[in-house]
Structures are given as structure tokens and as C-alpha cells.
Chains A and B, each alone.
Chain A
Amino acid sequence: MSYLDYTTGDPVADARAPEGPIAERWDRRRFEAKLVNPANRRKQTVIVVGTGLAGGAAGATLAEQGYRVVQFCYQDSPRRAHSIAAQGGINAAKNYRNDGDSVQRLFYDTVKGGDFRARESNVHRLAQVSVEIIDQCVAQGVPFAREYGGLLDTRSFGGVQVSRTFYARGQTGQQLLLGAYQALSRQIAAGNVEMHPRTEMLDLVVVDGRARGIVARDLITGRVETHIADAVVLATGGYGNVFHLSTNAKNSNATAIWRAHRRGAFFANPCFTQIHPTCIPRSGDHQSKLTLMSESLRNDGRIWVPKQAGDTRAPADIPEDERDYYLERIYPSFGNLVPRDIASRAAKNVCDEGRGVGHGGQGVYLDFADAIARLGRAAVEAKYGNLFEMYERITAEDPYRVPMRIYPAIHYTMGGLWVDYDLQTTIPGLFAVGEANFSDHGANRLGASALMQGLADGYFILPSTLADFLARHPHDEVPADHPAIDEAVTGVTDRLARLLANDGDRTPESFHRELGELLWDECGMSRSETGLRKALDRIPELREEFWRRITVPGSGEELNQSLEKANRVADYLELAELMCLDALHRAESCGGHFREESQTPDGEAARDDERFAYAAAWEFTGSGAAPVLHKEDLVFEYVHPTQRSYA
């Protein structure tokens, strides 16, 4: 039976969100939740994997409430999680500007921005909680931008019409993460969190149908250890690195969520990946990752390519009438400010026509000449100085004189582990927060909403819902010699041993690069049935080749970065297949998922609500074996689906 012969199982539904008016659901859920007696909290152990915004916030809050938290990160310090790299800002429906913002509007914008593929209850709760996040972070000392009167500054972000984005220069993610990290550090010092840095989760321990712990490898000593708890929280981020080149950190990986998926957690909407239009293009085959530049650049920069394919003249030598400002031409009313997915696809199209610029023709110009002429160099420098500096450091080109070159890159993954309203996966006791879950962003995430969701999950939502789970499932010991533990540990050690023992001739990096290129071509910005089928044919071959030809030097009893990498690539080789299958089965275009077969006559994404108004939750049945699809029907009671239009 081939992977393509997936079957459709029973629908999956969120049984946790209360009925009733949407604005009251979160309050009701919190009231209905059982509580854990403070005296008993110390007896309950919670494992939190990951220390980004969601994980750091969750670990700190749970420890504060009295639970015993055991936390893990692969980095040398919890402060380095990749949330730190987020630049733009964080949305909150504070309406400090009195410009018509409200919880209701943020809710509406998020559902619509997600192209109607998110769950209404969750999104509304996110908008409600957003307000508290800002209060919490300000109290922690997060140095948000302020006005001269001492109050917080906000800006409009990503084409939204209200100014609801709070920011700390271009380093909002860093400042928010450090706030969470500091709160977590306080709990570590107080002995409430047992922190394991440089430790990577390699499997989930499921005992009698309930998540009871993880198998993790100490990256320094190589020891594979089991950690047992009463609940497990995965806050391990997205899987964008499956594409090899992305804006994710080099070591961000999908192993934790993929291992959980293999143990029974459904994986929802894996094909929903977000491409960011303004990244610095690759400069050669040595490229190891891509760097994002804030989208705000599109406010003043004009995007263009030469009209003629194969035009190799320097940009300054191309006269005005031989330039194609294609976004302004195709989308006259939005121009250069069209949403991320549209800007990205348009860039791909002109490059596919051979009109791309720079290395390999994979880039378009983002030109500030007009802005500099209009506003003066000083004004442009005040607005974008640090971005221009970063660009020049990387490319050695001065964007004040030569137009920037940009190209889209994978940036965020909306898909992830399927969770209910309580953020619990289909494995009881296993929770997923932040980018690791299939989240509240539907098929497309709005700018400045990732930070909001990570902190909402970690600070406010999970601590309430997890308490309910723990109260209903009292602590009981798992014997150390339980067969499930033994099986998980053996599985991990066998796999590592197999990687080390193989006498091959290809490096983990070479497989990752090949897989990434394949996925980028066939399951990237634009997807077609032919391309996806091609990828689905190729991935199993590549996986087979991986296990035949991989070579990993060194031993397992030491710091071995090649072994870490190989183990992650092995999981990408399975996850990629599910992504392509999901993209193939979803024969509609929506949000970040663009199917060439499903477009309007003028080439825009055409959603198919008749057939696809559901979240696709996939059940694992075996490596390379056809998975089972469980649909969660999405019901829109408050925001009625409309077709997006930016023409």
C-alpha cells in the first residue's frame, strides 16, 4: 500500500470549548476547570520541552504556581530559543490609540487573515488574552518603545488598519523572550524548575495511553535518560527547517513533535507553511540559513525586476521604462503592501520567468531611491538604519546607493500537533503550545501574532487547562522498569547506534540540503499535483538512501553535533512526506498554501469552503505507511468566510 492511499477515519472534534457566546467561553472554561490544591501541586511534575516564548512562559508560570517543573532545551541556555529572533512586534487589542481596535476586531482580523482555517473559539480567546500579555511583560521590565509622555508606543503592522502592535525597536522577540527567561531563571534559582540545558528530547513515553515522560539525550555526555512526569508540554517550535534554508535557527528541529506524532498525537495541517517575502537572497551554495528583514521595508521600498528576461545590467543602468514594478502593476490599490503570501508568490513568478536578479536569478529589487529622493536620506536612515546596516554587513552592498535584493523564505509553520481548546493533543497528558501546535493562525499568520500566541499559550492558557488535567488525573508512580519506558529508550539508542554504525559516504547536511531543495521546489510557495506527486515519489527513495549512505563520525558518548543533525534529518525525511501528502490532498488554495490548480481567473488563490473547511489531522500508522486523515470541521458562527481580494 502506498503512502498516497491514505484513509479517512472518524472526524476529530474539539470537546473542550464550552458552548455559549464566544466572548464568555474562556471564562466558562476556567470556571469549569478543576483546581489542584496548592499543597498537592508540589507532588505533580510537569515536563516542559523548549524554552522559547511559549515554553519559557509556561515553565515560569507553572513553577510559580507550585508545580514541580522539569524543563529542557537543546541550547546551552534557555535564553537562546529562536523566539529571540522575532523582530517586528506583538499584537494586543489594547486600543490605547482609540482607533477602533477591540478584542472583537483582533479576533475578526485573525480569523480572516488565517483564510478561515482556524477554530473560532481559540482565536477569540487569543484576542482576549492579548491584553494581559502586555501588562505582564511591562511589569517584567520589557523595554517596549515609549512616547515622550512615558506611555507605550504602538504601530500598525502588516497592512492592518489599527495600531495594535507593541514593539521594542527591531528586537521585540528578544526582549519578550528575555522577560520570560528571567522569570524562568528566578524559578530555577528557587529550585522550582529543574533545568536541563543542552538536552534534546528524542522520544515520548506513553504509559497506558497517557503521556508520562520523555526520553532525552544529554548532548554533552551523550547519555540517554528517561524523565517521568504527570504531564508533558511540548513547546518546541515549528518545523520550517525541513526546508533546509529557512529563517529558523540552524538547530530548530521537528524531532519532538514528530516523535509525539509517531506515538499517537495527530499532526494537523502540515502543509500550512508561511513564506516571508523580504529575506536576503542566498549568495551561493554554501548558504546555511536565510536572514529575514522586517516587512516594514515594504512601506517605503518599491519592488521591481527588469522587464526583459536575462537582463544582466546593473540596476542603475536599467532605465525607468525598462523596469517592471510588478506589485504596483498587478495590485494597484495595495501595491507593495499586499499580504505576505501574495508578495512572495509574485516574486517567484517573475523569477520563474527568468527576470530574477542576483545569484541564480533568485531575487527581486527593493528600491529605496524614490523614498530617499522624497524623504531625504536622513529620514530613511532614521526609519530603517539598522536594517540597512544588517543588509550591508551580509551582502557588502550599500542599500542607500544600490537597490536591495530580496527573496521569499520559509519563516513560520502554521501546522503542528493537533490540540483541543485545552491545548491538549490526542494523547492525554501531552500538551503542545506555541508554534508547535497547529495553532490559531489557520492557513496564514498575521504579522506580530506569533509572539502573541506563544505568550498567550504559555503565560495564561496552558497553566489553567493543565491544572484541570492534573486535578482530574491524580499523580501515580510509574515503575522505572515499565516496558513502555524500556521500549522507548531502546528505540532511541538503537536508532542512534544505527546512525553511528553506518559505513556511508554522505553527510547529514547533504541529505538535508537535497530534501530542502526538493520541498522548496514542489511544496514551497506554489504547489501542483504533478510536483507533489514527484516529491512523494522521491522522498521515500531519499529516505532509503539516507539510511544506506549516511555517515556520522565520532561516538554517541560525547558532544556530537553530526549525530544530532543526522537524527533530526531522519525525522525531516518522514515529516516531509506528510507535508506533501497534506498539500496534495488539500486541492484548494488558502493562505500560505497555494495550489496551482485552484486559482481565480486572474491568478489569485481560490479557496474551496465546500470541500475543505476543515483542519486535517493526520494519524501516524508507520514510517512510510499511509496515514489516516481525521477531519475537524470548522464552523464559523461569528466571522463569515469571504474571499480575500487585494486587487
Chain B
Amino acid sequence: MNLTLRIWRQSGPDAKGAMTTYEVSDISPDMSFLEMLDTLNEELILRGEVPVAFDHDCREGICGACGMVINGQAHGPERTTTCQLHMRHFSDGDVIDIEPWRAAAFPVVKDLVVDRTSFDRVIGSGGYITVATGSAPDAHATPVPKAAADTAFEHAECIGCGACVAACPNGSAMLFTSAKVVHLNSLPQGAPERETRVLDMVETMDAEGFGGCTNTGECATVCPKGIPLASIATMNREYLRAIRKGA
């Protein structure tokens, strides 16, 4: 199939960007979206032009590196990562708009590449369980109810791609932050740091310039790993509980 791509091109963090139009032809429906961009880039290089920069790595939907807003939707029309989106979901002659994640906390580095290190700082402020290597008790010392283990797993699946922030009209990182808070706070191992974790992570999240939650639910709609919207409510509950306890 033949497609028209309108891609955000921006040569550097401080440069002014613009949508630029490209035509690609002979796109196979079996290609992934990124393979379609690879095809474009190969052509651009041979024409002596600078190829489109985009983040990608594992290309199997787990590393969380890839992500772009396709026709106004984070990761495009299917609820999956961009690397797992296939061209069979588009038709011959389509015009596809491709933009980077937009959020103050995710400044554009180049073209479709953004800086998501703010996520790392949110994790660093409390998204862990303090345990020095070698000091752990036997793994069976603390049984974990299966329900708690399953809740923890469901939230631990977050891949940190940032689609939730990109889709949120407020550029909020509530879903990302709550996924980690709920993962660790559901487990007995996470209990000693339960209050400080949520307070510190929310504080860092705010300080990084993410917006607040207005319950639009856009984040959970685009999340490729299906982190539930209710995890935000759970984090709010954890937060208010921590405030009450005066941690």
C-alpha cells in the first residue's frame, strides 16, 4: 500500500519543529509500524536526507522504548505498543500523522524522541523496597496471599513507555506512579515503606512538572499493558492514608 506520512521533525531540543510530509510506497500489511518507518529512513539516507529519529529497542512490546502519537492516539489505533502495531490496521492512501509524546515533563530531544528521565526520578524517589543485597530472609519466610501477589503483578507490568502521560490532556503521570505504588504497597515486603513511598513519589511526580488527574481515563485507554484506571484511586487512598498517619 501507499501512504502519506506527516511526521513531526525537530532537529534538536531547542529547535523549532514542524510537520513534514513524506510518501512511502509498497508497504506490506505484515510490516510493523516501526518497520514501515525503517523503510522510510532507508530511503531518506539514500537520498542524503537525515532519517527520522525515534526510540525503539526490543520491538516485542516489553522494553517500553518506542512510542509515538499516531493520528492523535498514543501508540496508534490498537491498544498495544507502537512496535507491535502492524500496517494491516491502515489502508492504502491513508494520511498518517505522527507526533512525539507531548508533555512538559517529556521535552522533545529530536523528531519523535523525548526525554523520559523524569520517570526514572519518580521511581528513584520511592519506587523500590529497601533491601541490601544478601540480607534477604528465605523466600518462603513471608507467604503472600495469591490475591495480593496477582494485584502486585498486574501493576508491575507497567513498561514505563509514557503513553499515559502522552494521552492525558494534563500530561499527568498518575497512572505510571500509581502502578508502582500499588505494586509495592500490595505486598507485605512493601509495608514498612508504605507511607513514605507514596508521599515521596507523588511529591516527585508533581515536582517533575506532570499535571494532576482530572479522571478523563485517557491514560488507561491507551495503556498497552492494561494498567487499570482504578489504580489511581488506590494510590489516592494510600496517599490520604499516609497523610492521616502523618508520615
* Cβ contact within 8 Å between A284 and B137: no
* Cβ contact within 8 Å between A80 and B134: no
From A183-191, A227-235, A585-593, give the one contacting chain B. Answer: A183-191
* Cβ contact within 8 Å between A178 and B156: yes
One of A85, A152, A286 near B38 (C-beta < 8 A): A286
Residues of chain A from 509 to 560 with CB closer than 8 A to chain B in the complex = 509-510, 551-554, 558-559
Q: Does B247 contact A (CB under 8 A)?
A: no
* Cβ contact within 8 Å between B63 and A393: no
Q: Does A596 contact B (CB under 8 A)?
A: no
Do A249 and B123 form a contact, CB below 8 Å, given A141-B187, A151-B143, A507-B45?
Answer: no
Q: How far apart sit A60 and B35, CA to CA, in the bound complex (Å)?
A: 36
- Kindly list chain B residues whose C-beta atoms are within 8 Å of the C-beta of A160: none
- Kindly list chain A residues whose C-beta atoms are within 8 Å of the C-beta of B130: 186
* Cβ contact within 8 Å between B146 and A146: yes
Q: Does A349 contact B (CB under 8 A)?
A: no
Residue-wise interface mask of A (438-478) relative to B, using a CB-CB cutoff of 8 A (1 in contact, 0 not): 00000000000000000000011001000000000000000
Residue-wise interface mask of A (129-150) relative to B, using a CB-CB cutoff of 8 A (1 in contact, 0 not): 0001011111111011111111
Closest chain B residue, CB of each to CB of A166: B139
Do A393 and B80 form a contact, CB below 8 Å, given A64-B132, A554-B50?
Answer: yes
One of B42, B78, B189 near A138 (C-beta < 8 A): B189
* Cβ contact within 8 Å between B45 and A141: no
Do A558 and B62 form a contact, CB below 8 Å, given A138-B136, A182-B123?
Answer: no
One of B32, B42, B64 near A79 (C-beta < 8 A): B64
Chain A residues within 8 Å of B, Cβ to Cβ: 57, 60-61, 64, 75-80, 82, 84-85, 94, 96, 132, 134-141, 143-152, 168-169, 171, 174-175, 178, 181-183, 185-186, 188-189, 195, 197, 220, 247, 249-252, 283-284, 286-289, 291-292, 390, 393-396, 459-460, 463, 505, 507, 509-510, 551-554, 558-559, 561-562
Residue-wise interface mask of B (201-243) relative to A, using a CB-CB cutoff of 8 A (1 in contact, 0 not): 0000000000000000000000000000000000000000000
* Cβ contact within 8 Å between B136 and A135: yes
* Cβ contact within 8 Å between B136 and A559: no
Q: Does B7 contact A (CB under 8 A)?
A: no
Closest chain B residue, CB of each to CB of A58: B133
Q: How far apart sit A558 and B28, CA to CA, in the bound complex (Å)?
A: 32
What distance in Å separates the Cβ of B100 from its nearest Cβ neighbour in chain A? 13
The majority secondary structure among interface residues of chain B is loop
Do A509 and B57 form a contact, CB below 8 Å, given A135-B137, A139-B129, A182-B127?
Answer: no
* Cβ contact within 8 Å between B63 and A84: yes
Q: Does B86 contact A (CB under 8 A)?
A: yes
Do A76 and B35 form a contact, CB below 8 Å, given A82-B58, A143-B153?
Answer: no
Q: How far apart sit A135 and B109, CA to CA, in the bound complex (Å)?
A: 40
- Kindly list chain A residues whose C-beta atoms are within 8 Å of the C-beta of B145: 150
Closest 5 pairs between A and B when the two form their complex, measured CB to CB: A150-B143, A189-B124, A139-B136, A182-B128, A283-B30
- Kindly list chain B residues whose C-beta atoms are within 8 Å of the C-beta of A132: 134, 136
Q: How far apart sit A178 and B157, CA to CA, in the bound complex (Å)?
A: 10
Residue-wise interface mask of B (14-35) relative to A, using a CB-CB cutoff of 8 A (1 in contact, 0 not): 0000000000000011111011
* Cβ contact within 8 Å between A393 and B86: yes
Q: How far apart sit A186 and B123, CA to CA, in the bound complex (Å)?
A: 8
Residue-wise interface mask of B (129-160) relative to A, using a CB-CB cutoff of 8 A (1 in contact, 0 not): 11111111111101111100100110011011
From B90-98, B114-122, B167-175, give the one contacting chain A. Answer: B114-122
Closest chain B residue, CB of each to CB of A74: B57
* Cβ contact within 8 Å between B138 and A140: no
Residues of chain B from 56 to 77 with CB closer than 8 A to chain A in the complex = 56-65
Q: How far apart sit A553 and B121, CA to CA, in the bound complex (Å)?
A: 34
* Cβ contact within 8 Å between B84 and A393: yes
Residue-wise interface mask of B (30-57) relative to A, using a CB-CB cutoff of 8 A (1 in contact, 0 not): 1110110011011011101111010111
* Cβ contact within 8 Å between B143 and A149: yes
* Cβ contact within 8 Å between A141 and B123: no
Q: Does B4 contact A (CB under 8 A)?
A: no
- Kindly list chain B residues whose C-beta atoms are within 8 Å of the C-beta of A141: 128-129, 152, 156, 183-184, 187, 189-190
One of A188, A247, A460 near B124 (C-beta < 8 A): A188
What distance in Å separates the Cβ of B104 from its nearest Cβ neighbour in chain A? 17
Q: How far apart sit A40 and B38, CA to CA, in the bound complex (Å)?
A: 50
One of A148, A174, A509 near B62 (C-beta < 8 A): A174
What distance in Å separates the Cβ of B89 from its nearest Cβ neighbour in chain A? 10
What distance in Å separates the Cβ of A217 from its nearest Cβ neighbour in chain B? 15
Residues of chain B from 155 to 204 with CB closer than 8 A to chain A in the complex = 156-157, 159-160, 183-184, 187, 189-190
- Kindly list chain A residues whose C-beta atoms are within 8 Å of the C-beta of B115: 76
What distance in Å separates the Cβ of A375 from its nearest Cβ neighbour in chain B? 23
What distance in Å separates the Cβ of B34 from its nearest Cβ neighbour in chain A? 7
